[in-house]
Structure 1
Amino acid sequence: MARILVMMSGGVDSSVAAGLLLEQGHEVTGVTLRLADAPADSGRVGGCCSLQDVEDARCVAHFLGIPHYSLNEKDLFTRTVLANFAEEYHRGRTPNPCYRCNQWVKFDHVLHWAETLGFEKVATGHYASLQEQNGSIYLKRGADRNKDQTYFLASIRKEVLSRLVFPLGHLTKPEVRQIAERMGLATADKGESQELCFAHDLDYRKALGEGAPGDLVNIEGEKVGQHHGIEGYTIGQRKGIGLSGGPFYVVQMDSGMNQVVIGPEECLYANEVEAGELNRFREIREGEVLSAFPRYRHPGSPARIESVGEESLRLRFLTPERALTPGQVMALYEGDVLVAGSIIGKVRMTEDSKSV
């Protein structure tokens, strides 16, 4: 049996993860991260940062009879995740803060902290699995495809996978709630958060501050209106543009010119992506076809690897994709096994696909 540190958010998933490991005979300790300020009376449910969430995790740990720590990591979170979030939006890109939090906080800083205290493994309530293949360990999609979270875990370094445990990988959400009820956990019927942990009123724009107004232009470059800051827009957006006629969609953002480009829906389609910050779990070969997920809960689309560099790649979807968004995560899979994570950069429609 192992000494395992469980990251407990105060929700049902991590509560059950801790309970299952305890039932298996492991020496379990819980830890809850304070990442951003959220008032206890904010009305949030199932998040990871409010005082109520910390208290819920503490109560579950007490009920299970395991030690519990609360770590204040607001400074680290602000310097890394929040800083990147703001920088990306100011550049006209759409970031994924959960991906970054896993990269810089949960599976980097916490792993180091756990190792310092002598824990052999770190566990979470993510819906993901680990699979050994040809002597290496890989992340594999969870059994519950509606809850699979390997997309958000694609930033984890390959070398730390052997130190991780995902007790819920073989379970569905309803099964997890049933286990929580069997265990008598107070979080059994706790709701799930649908928001960013640092945007408590569901409006991330308030976390970014005021943006600089600029021009709305059509695809010919003609001014057709004014925007109130590119931070308030994302690729594929239709609502809130403020123009009559249409329908119009946000098809591009130019932070250098402070312009938001709008156009018809057909302008949203592209088939070629240049992606950076490549985090690979195995060698990627030019010419191979992988299943690409350009956003969470995407069904996955076949894409051919055109070129691979040390930290970037270029791929081409076999069928053009709608609203490929710079700044978003591009996760690549071979079957159910995660091959790589990356960040979408430039997107375009190649000439030979414009008739598709």
Structure 2
Amino acid sequence: MKVLAAMSGGVDSAVAAARAVEAGHEVVGVHLALSRMPGTLRTGSRGCCTIEDSMDAQRAANIIGIPYYVWDFSERFKLDVVDDFIAEYAAGRTPNPCMRCNERIKFAALLEKALALGFDAVATGHYASITTDADGNRELHRAAAWAKDQSYVLGVLTADQLAHSMFPLGATPSKAEVRAEAAERGFSVANKPDSHDICFIPDGDTRGWLADRVGAERGDILDRTGAKLGVHEGATAYTVGQRRGLQIGTPAADGKPRFVLEVRPVTNTVVVGPKEALAIGEIAGTKYTWAGKAPETPEVAFDCEVQIRAHADPVPAVAQVVPVPDGSDSAPGALELRITPAEPLNGVAPGQTAVVYVGTRVLGQCTIDRTVSAVPVPA
């Protein structure tokens, strides 16, 4: 099989490419240039897709003995990931840029180009597994190593994309084993730190980065009843669950700290309240997809588990596809994937991704449009 190995410059993708070669595939390595500042250098574990990463990927490809190319996807990345990130924050939501990158860059733009060039599959260093059921349908499953499982960020993949995806590290027991294998192969990236934070904000100052691009306009800080408590310097600087930096002069009646419960961009207000009000009893989203074969009757409630962050624990839940409620901003007749957890979820914000599992299988996902608090608003 002809395989295009996406090589980020990290240890995981280098070992994945090497394993694809040893499995007998005809492999070509490619590094995606996503930064619009090609001279940028990586700082510790912050950032990725820099010129340094490109050189690391090339050195690994040379050792493996495969052709290596750099493809410039910076314009597509800006439009589909960076601009989307800015727009989502401006709309008061909390986006996950890694999900958008997997959805629109690595398994859309890259895969489309790979197929057009005659490749059969794209291989990456993600920790997840693909299996095939009795009818030949491909399924996405958690990796063998729970601590490094990355199936959550792959929840956006569709059946067509799974048909052309390879994850050679899925059955590997631990990241330590991958690093040891990289060292044995002579890869210089064997001990390279994993990338963290948002790759296009390498200094980690998301608040300042957004202020430069979205602007910061003063507005009111309200409690759940609508009473004004203070003034903020820009709503985009706040996220649901945030405690620090609220700068409210008057303490709560019970003396307990307040948390951000909601960001309302239309009125430029931030709603705060007690920690218990962060408990969410229902989430829903109209932008949902199925990873592989869809349920035969998704309109009938089914048992599942839901995960709302890459490293969160899954929570038992019931899900079903239903019409959006009256008064929704969605088009008439629109459907949503509605998920009711068995126990409240903590600090969930619109814009986040909810991934639905049945056992180890990733069944699908939705971008959260709305949340319903498990704690009623005081009268």
TM range (shorter): over 0.9
Distance 1:285 1:187 in 2: 47
| Contact 2:281–2:340 (CA under 8 A) maintained in structure 1 | yes
| Contact 1:273–1:347 (CA under 8 A) maintained in structure 2 | yes
Q: Does 1:221 align with 2:245?
A: no
With the length of structure 1 as denominator, give the TM-score of the two structures: 0.94
The more displaced of 256-265 and 204-213 is: 204-213
| Contact 1:10–1:46 (CA under 8 A) maintained in structure 2 | no
TM-superposed CA distance for 1:333, in Å, is 0.2
Look up the match of 1:72. 72
Look up the match of 2:129. 129
Q: Secondary structure at the match of 2:194?
A: coil
Distance 2:101 2:321 in 1: 28
Q: Does 1:251 align with 2:251?
A: no
Which ranges in structure 2 are unaligned for 5 or more consecutive residues? Answer: 324-333
The more displaced of 164-173 and 142-151 is: 142-151
Distance 1:311 1:163 in 2: 29
**Alignment CA distance shift 1:61-1:47 (3 Å):** farther
CA distances 1:106-150 after superposition (whole Å, capped 9, x unpaired) = 101111111122111110000010011242101100112121111
**Alignment CA distance shift 1:299-1:185 (3 Å):** same
Distance 1:304 1:141 in 2: 20
TM-superposed CA distance for 1:321, in Å, is 1.5
- Write out aligned runs for 1:174-323 (5 A): 174-208=176-210, 209=212, 210-244=215-249, 245=251, 246-281=256-291, 282-283=294-295, 284-308=298-322, 312-323=336-347
CA distances 1:165-218 after superposition (whole Å, capped 9, x unpaired) = 100001121111111111111110101111211001011234322222211111
Q: Secondary structure at the match of 2:344?
A: strand
**Alignment CA distance shift 1:306-1:162 (3 Å):** closer
Identity of aligned residues (%): 36
Q: Secondary structure at the match of 1:104?
A: helix
State the AA in 2 paired with 1:223. Answer: K
Q: Does 1:156 align with 2:157?
A: yes
Aligned CA-pair RMSD: 1.8
Distance 1:41 1:298 in 2: 31
Which ranges in structure 1 are unaligned for 5 or more consecutive residues? Answer: none
CA distances 1:254-309 after superposition (whole Å, capped 9, x unpaired) = 11111000111111112111222100132135221110011221111111125435
Distance 1:191 1:274 in 2: 36
**Alignment CA distance shift 1:26-1:306 (3 Å):** closer
TM-superposed CA distance for 1:40, in Å, is 3.7
| Contact 1:88–1:327 (CA under 8 A) maintained in structure 2 | yes
| Contact 2:144–2:170 (CA under 8 A) maintained in structure 1 | yes
Q: Does 1:341 align with 2:365?
A: yes
TM-superposed CA distance for 1:154, in Å, is 1.1
| Contact 1:269–1:322 (CA under 8 A) maintained in structure 2 | yes
Q: Secondary structure at the match of 2:12?
A: helix
| Contact 1:236–1:268 (CA under 8 A) maintained in structure 2 | yes
